[in-house]
Structure 1
Amino acid sequence: MPEGPEIRRAADKIAAVLENEVIEDLFLGLGRLKKFRRTLTGTRVRSIETRGKALLTHFNTDWTLYSHNQLYGVWHVVDRGQYPTTTRTLRVALHTARHSALLYSASDIWVLTKKQLTTHPFLSRIGPDILDTSLTWRALLSRLTDPRFKSRKLATLYLDQQFLAGIGNYLRSEIIHDAGLDPTLRPIDLNRVQLGRLARSTLTISKRSYTSGGITNKAGIAKKLKSQGKSRAAYRFAIFDREGECCYRCGGSVIRSTLNSRRLYSCAQCQASLFETQSG
């Protein structure tokens, strides 16, 4: 499933061709949405926004197109009249004079008023967007020590969109590893230094993934591995999807575990165990 950085990069591409442009025509593939074609035709796209893994297309009226890619949804930006070769089902097509933004396969799509946005089941309960430029490490520290979250294992907490919106499976493993923490720990088990390190890692890894096109490994390590002829799969992640390989930081073995049917990767050698957290 695409995570926050992937959705934000898709949003950037869509914004580049839709923002401040008039929607001359559109296609809405789901039956319950077809009635909005006339309503939205001729409107101007005011802005493109992401909230976690949801993408919002705001028009210069009271309406917003909400979409969540879920597991299989994907956006394409093309010249108008050009369609990608695919067996996927087209769900949304937004056409300006020169370009089209096409959404395939997703089914969680709605046309909502500003008021309806505030009560939407997903939007109304999610936490801060991980890529929100106003989000600071101190704000994250506050959430980590919030009574709602402080007693939950990091491995579980970091997939909860109510805690932070936009983090998924690979970011979870990469963030907790970067902070050097055992994923079975809870925020309440950590000292102030460790909490601060975790908060900073959360921002650093998420922003690194966004700006690098999905690479969460440290730039120096990724560059070195690439120069050695390694594949993108080999240098993209520091820990995720690297079971049995050596940790780039300490040389320890990367282990894989499963939590609620979701893969989790860690290094037992450099990710602190419970008894080590009590000092300081």
Structure 2
Amino acid sequence: MPEGPETRRAADRVHEQLAGRRLEQVWFYFPELAQEAASLIGREVSAVDSWGKALLTRFDDGRVLYSHNQLYGVWKLHDAEREPDTGRSLRVRLVAEGRAASLYSASDVSLWEAHRLGEHPFLSRLGPDLLTHGVTVGQAMSRLQDARFRRRGLGGLLLDQALFAGIGNYLRSEILFFAGLHYQARPVDLEEGALAQLAGAILEVTRQAYDQSGVTNRPDWAEADRRRGASRRRWRFAVFERDGLPCHICHTLIQRYSVASRRLYVCPRCQSAP
């Protein structure tokens, strides 16, 4: 499933396609939404952003279209007169000034008043989005020290969307590696410097994944891997999916574990157990 950076990049593409334009056509597959379609004609798409793995299309009357791609949903952008070549099932189509954005195969779509988004059954359980909500290092440190999170092992905690929205499996491995922390470490046990390093890694690795289309590796390490003929799957990450390969720092072989029912990759020397 795409993680926060991929969802935000998808939101950016839909934003570029529709934002600042007035809707000419609106179509919904879902009966409860279909009755609202006509009321959106003539409304301007004011912005498209994301919260975790959910995409939020905002209209100038204060309403927001919530959509979650889950495993199979995908937005396709196209000219209004040219149907995308796909066998997927159409769920939403928005057309503004000849430009169209069509959502296929998603099942979780709803229309909300912006001021009521906090009541959404999914969004209400999420922590702040690392790319949308302007989280600072200080705020991230404070959140990690919150009573709900501070005594939990980082291997499971980082996947908890109540902590920060958008961190998934590859980000978890990469964040812990660049923070130099074992998955069993707990925020409560970290000195202030280590906590600040963790908070910084959370923000920096997530931002790099967004800026570089999923690449979280250091540029020099990635370039060295490319020169050796490594595939993108290998060179894009520092540790994720690199089990059995040498650590870029110490050359110890990367190990794979199952933590919180998900695979996690660790350098046993750079990330020694607490």
- After TM superposition, the score normalised by the length of structure 1 is 0.93
CA distance in 1, matches of 2:249, 2:107: 41
The corresponding residue for 1:152 is 152
* 1:80 CA drift (Å): 2.0
- In structure 2, the residue corresponding to 1:78 is in which secondary structure? strand
The corresponding residue for 1:197 is 197
- Does 1:187 pair with 2:183? no
* 1:260 CA drift (Å): 3.5
Q: Which moved more, 1:250-259 or 1:57-66?
A: 250-259
- Does 1:142 pair with 2:142? yes
- In structure 2, the residue corresponding to 1:124 is in which secondary structure? helix
The corresponding residue for 1:4 is 4
CA distance in 2, matches of 1:226, 1:74: 30
The corresponding residue for 2:177 is 177
- Does 1:218 pair with 2:218? yes
CA distance in 2, matches of 1:249, 1:105: 43
CA distance in 2, matches of 1:133, 1:251: 37
Q: Deviations over 1:177-220 (max 9, x none)?
A: 11111011111121212111101111110000000011010122
5+ residue gaps, structure 1, are 275-280
- Percent identity between matched residues is 44
The corresponding residue for 2:116 is 116
User: Does the CA-based 8 Å contact 1:253-1:269 persist in structure 2?
Assistant: no
User: Does the CA-based 8 Å contact 2:234-2:241 persist in structure 1?
Assistant: no
CA distance in 2, matches of 1:198, 1:111: 36
Runs of 4+ in structure 1 off by over 4 angstroms are none
CA distance in 2, matches of 1:266, 1:227: 24
CA distance in 2, matches of 1:33, 1:23: 16
Computed over aligned residues only, the root mean square deviation of the Cα atoms, in angstroms, reads 1.5
- After TM superposition, the score normalised by the length of structure 2 is 0.95
Q: Deviations over 1:4-47 (max 9, x none)?
A: 10011111111111111011102211232211211212211011
Which runs of structure 2 are paired with 1:84-103 in the superposition (5 Å)? Answer: 84-103=84-103
- 1:104 partner amino acid: Y
Q: Deviations over 1:78-111 (max 9, x none)?
A: 2222233222211111111221111111111101
Q: Deviations over 1:100-138 (max 9, x none)?
A: 111111111101112431211122221111113621111
Q: Structure 1 146/223 Cα, relative in aligned 2: closer, same or farther at 3 Å?
A: same
User: Does the CA-based 8 Å contact 1:77-1:100 persist in structure 2?
Assistant: yes
Q: Which moved more, 1:185-194 or 1:205-214?
A: 185-194
- In structure 1, the residue corresponding to 2:124 is in which secondary structure? coil
The corresponding residue for 1:271 is 271
User: Does the CA-based 8 Å contact 2:12-2:49 persist in structure 1?
Assistant: no
- 1:250 partner amino acid: C
5+ residue gaps, structure 2, are none
- In structure 2, the residue corresponding to 1:155 is in which secondary structure? helix
The corresponding residue for 1:233 is 233
CA distance in 2, matches of 1:136, 1:65: 27
- In structure 1, the residue corresponding to 2:238 is in which secondary structure? coil
- Does 1:35 pair with 2:21? no
CA distance in 2, matches of 1:11, 1:72: 16
CA distance in 1, matches of 2:84, 2:184: 44
May I ask how many residue pairs the two structures share in their alignment? 274
CA distance in 1, matches of 2:79, 2:91: 18
- 1:34 partner amino acid: A
Q: Which moved more, 1:141-150 or 1:223-232?
A: 223-232
- 2:132 partner amino acid: D
Q: Deviations over 1:217-271 (max 9, x none)?
A: 0122112322443221111111112222222222112211123432111111210
